[in-house]
């Protein structure tokens, strides 16, 4: 699909659509208390890139009907003139779309049965997931129900289809047309991938095209090429129907093939056995329930809350490309499998988010410097230096650098545990990506630290000089659901903590777990065990236990 028709009454369509749209859920919506389940602020804001990396490749797929377009157009050119043919009215099927039979339709009947047999089989299997809903929407709107097969030749009924022209979803809406017909598109939502909403928008669009041309074959051609292209072609050729127009040079070859391809798809889909399509594994119709969840609720949190997996939730909510509900909608109607809404409503408030930092390794080559590597991974220099316990930015070829990245997980609290309870405090470095409009004071307030500490941790000379997209390293712990300060990076002289036993050592700039273990004649594994460390990350100011908790010794013997 390409462009929209341009005429005066188009501006009233959003209001008409608003009155048409309803909920397609199989049960009533359950509302979740807003205050109890906002999970994904870090995920949606600080971790936007991480979220995008989470989304598998199959979230965006090439429309299957587009794969063979060049081959189709080349073969159609060899068939000769485009003629209307005769109305096709077999006894075994009836049609409410004008179906005719000619060389072009016969070509596609053969093409689907042979060269594209496997692909067409997949379309048939997938079609029954959406056909009941689409046909009911068409019936309600008073349109031919055979138009329900239009998404078959647009996308193969794929919600993830994205064409080379950037048309998206089962009905292959372009961005501008989708907006004109009331679909929401932004970084959090793309309603072109919502089967119900995109279907209603497509029906409104097709209705307008029919009103414009008074002919369903021309309306379908305009759905592909745009109303302006068809109007111009009719004006220049004096054609009265699609087939006359197709004989001229005013239509793109892609649009010429569009109508006979749809007709052939309708014919086979309504009587597949006649054309050799047997033993089709048809998918069951789409069913779901809805539950209202707060803004910025992650689908991964919902997965923990109910008895389903992320793939099924993602399939039901393909219009959420970041797997997070939009931040501007407090009561978002999320689709969940039938029978799960009550479980989600009960458990979602008890789901808690934990953010940990892990590391991957980068080996420095001879042409790289710290600035280039930081730019490659979107990390500031101070964070990179700190993660590798380096004082200077000079690197050597073959040097191995630890690259920090965040991992967000979700856990369900026990039913007998108060909702305010959280996991045992665990210090960690959190990477905060500065958003547009944020100040260091706002960030400090969010993490319950001072601006000076953030500046100290990140080597900022001026606390007012931060910019959108900048990564800030914060050393925090989650205690009782509230982010608290763990330790300051302020430059201090080496000191020990007065304690009879066990003995502690305060980490200094440049220290690593290995150097500290060597200093005290220990192993890194002992330090990890005694200090409950999940990784080798340590930062200046952290107190490390450097003797066996069960041993008795003199602190003075441990001083460096």
- Every domain of the chain and the residues it spans: 60-83+96-275, 422-485, 504-558
Enter the DSSP assignment of 404.
Answer: E
Q: Evaluate if residue 192 carries a pLDDT over 50.
A: yes
Look at residue 215 in the predicted model and tell me its pLDDT.
97
- Which token pair is 65? 């009907």
| Residue whose pair of structure tokens reads 């997980």 in the numeric block | 409
Please say whether the structural domain 504-558 has been given the CATH code 3.10.350.10.
yes
Dihedrals phi, psi of 292, to nearest 5 degrees: -80, 125
pLDDT on residue 542: 83
What proportion of the chain, given as a percentage, has pLDDT over 90? 47
Of 339 and 519, the structure prediction assigns the larger pLDDT to: 339
> With 0-12 CB in 10 A as exposed, 13-18 as middle and 19+ as buried, what is 273?
exposed
Whole-angstrom Cα distance, residue 557 to residue 560? 8
Give the chain's mean pLDDT: 80
Lowest mean pLDDT among 200-204, 366-370, 463-467: 463-467
The residue with greater pLDDT, 552 or 546, is 546
Decide whether 60-83+96-275 matches 422-485 in CATH topology: no
Which residue has better confidence, 451 or 213? 213
Residue 475 vs residue 276, higher pLDDT: 276
Give the residue numbers annotated as catalytic, written as ranges: 154
Judged by average pLDDT, the poorest of 110-119, 343-352, 493-502 is 493-502
Predicted confidence (pLDDT) at residue 424 exceeds the cutoff of 90: no
Return the structure tokens found at 198: 């995109």
- Scored b (16 or more CB within 10 A) or e, 544-558 reads bbbbeeeeeeebeeb
Q: Which of 131-140, 425-434, 469-478, 517-526 has the lowest mean pLDDT?
A: 425-434
Place 354 in a pLDDT band, splitting at 50, 70 and 90.
confident
For the chain, give the percent of residues with pLDDT over 70.
Answer: 79
Which of the four pLDDT bands, split at 50, 70 and 90, describes residue 337? very high
The CA dihedral of 203, 209, 211, 215, to the nearest 10 degrees, is: -110
Question: What pLDDT is recorded for position 507?
Answer: 82
Taking residues 299-308, what's their average pLDDT?
93
Residues 6+ apart with CB under 8 A from 511: 389, 538, 540
pTM (two decimals) = 0.67
DSSP SS3 for 163: coil
* Concatenated DSSP letters of 248-291: SSSS-HHHHHHHHHHHHHHHHHHSGGGGT--S--PPPPP--EEE
Cα–Cα distance list, 282 to 116, 123, 131, 157, 195 (Å): 18, 9, 11, 13, 18
Task: Please give the Cα distance from 265 to 64 (Å, whole number).
Answer: 14
CA–CA gap between residue 1 and residue 115 (Å, rounded): 24
Structure tokens that stand for 487 in this block = 């330790």
- CATH architecture of the domain 60-83+96-275 equals Orthogonal Bundle (1.10)
Q: Is pLDDT above 60 for 31?
A: no
Residue 21 in this model has a pLDDT that exceeds 70 = no
pLDDT in tens, 231-257: 999 999 999 999 999 998 889 988 999
More confident residue, 73 or 48: 73
Encode burial over 184-219: b for 16+ CB neighbours within 10 A, e otherwise: bbeebbbbbbbbbbbbbbbbbbbbbbbebbebbbbb
Pull the structure tokens for residue 258: 């569009």
Asked if residue 218 has pLDDT above 80, the reply is yes
Q: What are phi and psi of 407, to 5 degrees?
A: -125, 125
The answer to whether the beta carbons of residues 546 and 558 sit under 8 Å apart is: yes
CATH of 422-485, one of 1.10.10.10, 3.10.350.10, 3.90.79.10, 3.30.465.10: 3.10.350.10
Looking at residues 314-333, what average pLDDT do you find?
Answer: 93
Enclosing H/E stretch for 381: helix 381-387
Task: Give the chain's length.
Answer: 560
pLDDT of residue 465: 79
């Amino acid at each position: 699909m390409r462009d929209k028709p341009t005429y005066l009454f188009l501006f009233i369509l959003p209001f008409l659509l608003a009155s048409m749209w309803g909920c397609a859920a199989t049960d009533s919506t359950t509302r979740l208390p807003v205050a109890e389940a906002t999970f994904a602020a870090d995920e949606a804001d600080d971790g936007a890139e991480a979220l995008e990396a989470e989304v598998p490749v199959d979230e965006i797929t090439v429309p299957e009907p587009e794969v063979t377009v060049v081959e189709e157009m080349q073969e159609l050119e060899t068939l000769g003139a485009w003629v209307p043919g005769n109305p096709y009215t077999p006894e075994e099927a009836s049609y409410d779309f004008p179906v005719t039979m000619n060389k072009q339709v016969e070509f596609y009947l053969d093409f689907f049965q042979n060269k594209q047999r496997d692909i067409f089989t997949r379309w048939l299997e997938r079609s029954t997931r959406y056909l009941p809903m689409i046909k009911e929407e068409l019936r309600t709107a008073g349109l031919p129900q055979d138009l329900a097969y239009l998404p078959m030749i647009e996308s193969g009924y794929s919600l993830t289809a994205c064409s080379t022209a950037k048309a998206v979803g089962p009905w292959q809406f372009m961005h501008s047309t989708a907006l004109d017909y009331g679909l929401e598109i932004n970084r959090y939502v793309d309603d072109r991938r919502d089967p119900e909403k995109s279907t209603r928008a497509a029906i409104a669009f097709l209705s307008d095209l029919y009103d414009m041309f008074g002919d369903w074959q021309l309306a379908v051609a305009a759905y592909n090429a745009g109303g302006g292209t068809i109007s111009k072609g009719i004006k220049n050729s004096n054609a009265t129907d699609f087939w006359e127009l197709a004989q001229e040079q005013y239509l793109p070859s892609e649009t010429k093939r569009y109508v006979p391809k749809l007709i052939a798809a309708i014919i086979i889909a309504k009587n597949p056995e006649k054309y050799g399509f047997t033993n089709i594994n048809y998918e069951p119709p789409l069913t779901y329930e809805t539950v209202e969840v707060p803004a910025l609720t992650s689908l991964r949190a919902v997965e923990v809350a109910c008895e389903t997996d992320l793939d099924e939730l993602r399939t039901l909510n393909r219009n959420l490309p970041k797997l997070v509900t939009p931040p501007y909608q407090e009561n978002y109607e999320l689709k969940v499998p039938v029978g799960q809404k009550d479980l989600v409503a009960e458990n979602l408030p008890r789901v808690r988010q934990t953010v940990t930092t892990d590391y991957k390794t980068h080996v420095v080559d001879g042409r790289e410097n710290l600035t280039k590597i930081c730019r490659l991974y979107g990390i500031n220099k101070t964070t990179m230096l700190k993660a590798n316990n380096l004082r200077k930015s000079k690197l050597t070829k073959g040097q191995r650098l630890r690259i920090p990245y965040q991992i967000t997980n979700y856990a369900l609290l026990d039913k007998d545990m108060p909702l305010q309870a959280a996991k045992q405090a665990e210090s960690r470095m959190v990477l905060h990506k500065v958003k547009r409009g944020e100040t260091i004071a706002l960030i400090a307030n969010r993490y319950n630290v001072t601006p000076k500490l953030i500046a100290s941790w990140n080597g900022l000379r001026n606390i007012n000089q931060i910019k959108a997209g900048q990564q800030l390293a914060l050393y925090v712990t989650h205690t009782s659901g509230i982010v608290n300060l763990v330790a300051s990076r302020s430059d201090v002289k080496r000191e020990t903590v007065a304690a009879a036993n066990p003995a502690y050592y305060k980490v200094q700039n440049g220290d690593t777990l290995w150097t500290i273990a060597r200093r005290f004649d220990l192993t890194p594994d002992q330090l990890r065990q005694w200090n409950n460390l999940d990784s080798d990350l340590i930062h200046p100011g952290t107190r490390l236990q450097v003797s066996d908790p069960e041993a008795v010794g003199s602190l003075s013997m441990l001083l460096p």
